[in-house]
Amino acid sequence: MPNAKLENLLNLALSATEAEMQKSHVLNTGYSPVSKTWELIVKYHGPLERLESEVIHIEPLINGYAIATVREDFIDAFADLDEVEFVEKPKRLYFE
């Protein structure tokens, strides 16, 4: 069942096959297939720095936001933390 704290597009990307990920420029944004990690945008409250480990790296921003690099198999556990309010994947920007 998809995690309610995860953006719908991130839930879709996490359930996609490897072939679907490689074909899509939208689903694979923020994903590193070599290390099997995701760079995620996190809305949070309280201290997230205590979560720093081999599988999670936190880069605090401002106003309760951070960039978290999380190993794919730890995303659900990360999102379930009380401090985490919402998690989304980065978006690819295009110029016209």
Contacts for 52 with CB less than 8 Å, ≥ 6 apart = 58
Residue type present at position 2: P
Q: What DSSP line would sit under 8-56, residue for residue? A: HHHHHHHHS-HHHHHH-TTTTTTEETTTTEEEEEEEE-S--GGG-SSSE
C-alpha R_g of the chain? 13
| 21-65 pLDDT, tens digit each | 888 888 989 999 899 999 999 999 988 878 888 889 999 999 999
pLDDT above 90 covers a percentage of the chain that reads 69
Distance CA(68)–CA(70), nearest Å, equals: 6
Give this prediction's pTM: 0.88
